[in-house]
Amino acid sequence: MSTKRDQIIDTTCQLMEVQGYHATGLNQILAESGAPKGSLYYYFPAGKEELTIEAVARSARAIEQRISLVMADSDDPITAVPTFITLLAQQVAASNFSAGGPITAIAVESASTNERLREACRQAYQSWQDVFAEKLRQGGFSAARSRRLSAVIIAALEGGIILSRSQQSIQPLLDVAEEVELLLRGGP
Amino acid sequence: MSTKRDQIIDTTCQLMEVQGYHATGLNQILAESGAPKGSLYYYFPAGKEELTIEAVARSARAIEQRISLVMADSDDPITAVPTFITLLAQQVAASNFSAGGPITAIAVESASTNERLREACRQAYQSWQDVFAEKLRQGGFSAARSRRLSAVIIAALEGGIILSRSQQSIQPLLDVAEEVELLLRGGP
DNA sequence: GTCTATAATACGATAGAC
DNA sequence: GTCTATCGTATTATAGAC
DSSP string, B19-78: H-STT--HHHHHHHHT--HHHHHHH-TTTHHHHHHHHHHHHHHHHHHHHHHHHHT-S-HH
Nearest CA to B118 out of A39, A97, A126, A48 is that of A97
- Listed as ranges, the nucleotides of chain D within 7 A of a protein C-beta are 1-6, 10-16
Stretch B14-25: mean pLDDT: 97
- The minimal CB distance from A105 to the residues B109, B165, B175 is found for B109
What is the distance between the alpha carbons of residues A40 and A177, in angstroms, rounded to a whole number? 40
What mean pLDDT, rounded, does chain B reach?
96
State the angle between helix axes of A171-185 and A77-94 in degrees (0 to 180), rounded to the nearest 10: 180
Instruction: Indicate the fold that domain A49-185 takes in CATH.
Output: Tetracycline Repressor; domain 2 (1.10.357)
In A, minimum Cα distance to B161 occurs at A155
- The minimal CB distance from B122 to the residues A105, A151, A167 is found for A167
Stretch A102-115: mean pLDDT: 98
- Indicate whether B55 pLDDT > 80: yes
Q: Are B123 and B181 in contact (CB under 8 A)?
A: no
Stretch A169-185: mean pLDDT: 98
What is the distance between the alpha carbons of residues B51 and B71, in angstroms, rounded to a whole number? 30
Q: Provide the 10 A C-beta neighbour count for residue A178.
A: 17
Nearest CA to A102 out of A65, A142, A133, A74 is that of A65
Q: How many Å does it take to go from CA A35 to C1' C3?
A: 9
Q: A3-7, A49-53, A167-171: which has the minimum mean pLDDT?
A: A3-7
How many CB pairs below 8 Å do chains A and B form together? 167
pLDDT over 90, % of chain A: 93
Residue A155 has what pLDDT?
99
Residue A37 has what pLDDT?
86
What is the distance between the alpha carbons of residues B180 and B81, in angstroms, rounded to a whole number? 8
Band the pLDDT of A4: cuts 50, 70, 90: confident
What mean pLDDT, rounded, does chain A reach?
96
Q: Which of residues 47-76 of A touch strand D (CB under 7 A)?
A: 47-49
- Over residues B148-174, the pLDDT tens digits come to 999 999 999 999 999 999 999 999 999
- Indicate whether B131 pLDDT > 70: yes
- Does strand D come within 7 Å of the CB of A114? no
Band the pLDDT of B187: cuts 50, 70, 90: confident
Residue B2 has what pLDDT?
63
Nearest CA to B129 out of B83, B81, B164 is that of B81
- What DSSP element (H or E) covers A118? helix A115-138
Band the pLDDT of B37: cuts 50, 70, 90: confident
Band the pLDDT of B1: cuts 50, 70, 90: low
Q: How many Å does it take to go from CA B26 to C1' C16?
A: 21
- Indicate whether A3 pLDDT > 90: no
- Residues of chain A neighbouring B167 (CB-CB closer than 8 A): 122, 125
Give the C-alpha distances (Å, rounded to integers) separating B125 from A93, A184, B101, B106, B158.
19, 26, 11, 12, 10
Q: How many Å does it take to go from CA B36 to C1' D6?
A: 14
Nearest CA to A106 out of A118, A96, A94, A115 is that of A118
Residues A162, B104: C-beta atoms closer than 8 Å: yes
Parse chain A into domains and list their residue ranges: 49-185
Stretch B124-151: mean pLDDT: 98
- Residues of chain A neighbouring B183 (CB-CB closer than 8 A): 179, 182-183, 186
Interface with B, mutate which of A96, A130, A179 (most B CBs under 10 A): A179
What is the distance between the alpha carbons of residues A40 and A37, in angstroms, rounded to a whole number? 5
- Å between B2 CA and nearest CA of chain A: 31
Phi, psi of B144 (to 5 degrees): -65, -45
Higher model confidence: residue B39 or residue A59? A59
Interface with B, mutate which of A104, A166, A170, A175 (most B CBs under 10 A): A166
- The SS3 call for residue B181 is helix
Give the C-alpha distances (Å, rounded to integers) separating A23 from A16, A37, A82, A109, B109.
8, 18, 33, 11, 8
